[in-house]
């Protein structure tokens, strides 16, 4: 039987406008970063994507290098789109990115016009699409002038490859500069995708949310669960099989006694609200209306459903926010600080 989406899929999910644009996004978007490569069952991937769409999650977020191997997430989504969602393409917001390492040599990484345009062409081929809705420069490239990157993003829109453009992991100042460059070219900067969580609050401290309000672009936070740390599983330490035990993006050195005490405090607040710790973290990250959406992944449908239930409880009292601030402090849990602070882009 062919897939038929839920008739009431838009009845309950909150939708916010991205800055001063016409682009609207669901409060929670589905990220296809770590669980949509060829190391995972395509059937499980399909179940997650379709369950998300049934709940009104119409934004699917990718990048050229998501896998493994790089490009696999886009190819797998292309299979799901063709099989199940082709008739609903106009309802979907599909985003992809380029900037981190995709291939060897100087044009497999960075912010050059050649890399960004050719990378997007390959992304469109893998997904079987004529255009994406949002194309991001995935990280700043200090070796390429911002003017060249901005001109490439403008060309991508004018050539029909994307409807909107965004940036990711840019500093507030570089974000303002890019917004000005794109405005001058006639292609507004629509959205910024920074890391943001209870333990990674740089967008507040460094003024990115203020830059977004001033320049008119939206914010869609990624890693709102701090690479899975803001879940109940790490309060007592690192369980076998958890992401922190496997290496990669969640550094086990971050799980200090102090951090676990903060997790316990936040867990207790969540329990008082009738939420899990993960749900509290997602609700909290959406408390500021300048945050348009959050990107969160899911390893199965049950986890997706738990995350989406956070959207039913977005209100906070001032007392709750003060209590949360006792525990939700920046703990240096940020894999992307070097990128926005001007570290060189290298290739092998």
CA distance 221 to 27: 11
pLDDT at residue number 252: 80
At 96 the pLDDT is 98
Structure confidence at residue 348 (pLDDT)? 40
Q: Quick one: tokens of 185?
A: 């070219």
pLDDT tens digits along 270-321? 999 999 999 999 999 999 999 999 999 999 999 999 999 999 999 999 999 9
Average pLDDT over residues 142-165: 98
Mean pLDDT of 27-34: 96
- pLDDT score of 115 more than 50: yes
pLDDT value at position 234?
79
* Residue 233 confidence (pLDDT): 83
42-93 residue pLDDT tens:
999 999 999 999 999 999 999 999 999 999 999 999 999 999 999 999 999 9
Q: How far lies 26's CA from each of 48, 58, 78, 222, in Å?
A: 16, 7, 21, 14
Question: 3-class SS at 27?
Answer: coil
Q: What is the dihedral of CA 277, 278, 282, 287, to 10 degrees?
A: 0
What is the share, in percent, of the chain residues with pLDDT greater than 70?
95
Check the CA dihedral 155-30-224-119 and report its sign.
Answer: negative
Beta bridge partners, 200, equal 197
Mean pLDDT of the chain: 94
- pLDDT higher than threshold 60 for residue 164: yes
Spell out the domains of the chain, with CATH numbers in brackets: 15-227+285-299 (3.20.20.100)
- pLDDT for the residue numbered 143: 94
Entry pTM: 0.95
Q: How far apart are CA 288 and CA 217, in angstroms?
A: 14
Residue 341 is predicted with a pLDDT of 84
Report the alpha-carbon distance of residue 118 to residue 339 in Å, rounded: 22
pLDDT band at 245; cut points 50, 70, 90: very low
Please report the pLDDT score of residue 331 as a whole number. 86
Query: Is 248's pLDDT higher than 70?
Result: no
Of 88-92, 170-174, 252-256, 317-321, minimum mean pLDDT range? 252-256
Residues with Cβ within 8 Å of 115's Cβ and at least 6 positions away in sequence, in order, are 98, 102, 107, 108, 109
Distance CA 104, CA 167 (A): 23
- Residue 11 clears pLDDT 70, i.e. is over it: yes
Mean pLDDT along residues 238-245: 58
Mean pLDDT confidence for 92-97: 98
Give the pLDDT confidence score for residue 50 in this predicted structure: 98
Q: Looking at 68-77, 228-237, 253-262, 311-320, which range is the least confident one?
A: 228-237
Give the side-chain half-sphere CA count within 13 A for 193. 25
* Average pLDDT of span 309-337: 94
Looking at residue 312, the DSSP 8-state letter turns out to be G
Q: What is the pLDDT of residue 253?
A: 82
What integer pLDDT is reported at residue 194 of this predicted model?
98
Which residues on adjacent β-strands are paired with residue 296? 30
């Amino acid at each position: 039987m062919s897939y038929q989406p839920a008739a009431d899929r838009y009845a309950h999910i909150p939708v916010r406008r991205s800055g001063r644009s016409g682009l609207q996004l669901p409060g929670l978007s589905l990220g296809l970063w770590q669980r949509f490569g060829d190391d995972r069952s395509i059937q499980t991937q399909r179940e997650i994507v379709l369950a998300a769409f049934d709940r009104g999650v119409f934004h699917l977020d990718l990048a050229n290098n998501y896998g493994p191997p790089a490009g696999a997430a886009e190819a797998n989504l292309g299979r799901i789109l063709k099989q199940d969602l082709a008739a609903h393409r106009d309802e979907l917001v599909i985003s992809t990115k380029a900037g981190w390492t995709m291939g060897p040599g100087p044009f497999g990484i960075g912010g050059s016009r050649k890399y960004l345009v050719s990378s997007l062409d390959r992304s469109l081929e893998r997904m079987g699409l004529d255009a994406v809705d949002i194309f991001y420069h995935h990280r700043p490239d200090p070796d390429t002038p911002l003017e060249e990157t901005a001109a490439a993003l403008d060309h991508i829109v004018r050539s029909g490859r994307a409807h909107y453009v965004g940036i990711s992991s840019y500093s507030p100042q570089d974000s303002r500069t890019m917004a000005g460059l794109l405005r001058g070219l006639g292609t507004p900067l629509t959205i910024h995708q920074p890391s943001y969580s209870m333990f990674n609050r740089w967008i507040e401290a460094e003024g990115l949310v203020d830059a977004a309000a001033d320049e008119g672009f939206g914010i869609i936070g990624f890693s709102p669960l701090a690479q899975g740390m803001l879940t109940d599983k790490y309060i007592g330490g690192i369980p076998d099989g958890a992401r922190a035990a496997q290496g990669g993006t969640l550094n086990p050195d971050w799980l200090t006694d102090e951090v676990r005490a903060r997790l316990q405090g936040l867990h207790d607040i969540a329990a008082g609200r009738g939420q899990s710790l993960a749900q509290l973290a997602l609700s909290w990250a959406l408390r500021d209306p300048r945050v348009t959406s959050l990107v969160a992944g899911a390893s199965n449908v049950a986890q997706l459903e738990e995350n989406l239930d956070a959207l039913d409880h977005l209100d906070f009292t001032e007392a709750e926010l003060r209590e949360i601030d006792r525990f939700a402090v920046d703990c240096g849990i940020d894999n992307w600080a070097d990128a926005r602070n001007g570290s060189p882009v290298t290739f092998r």
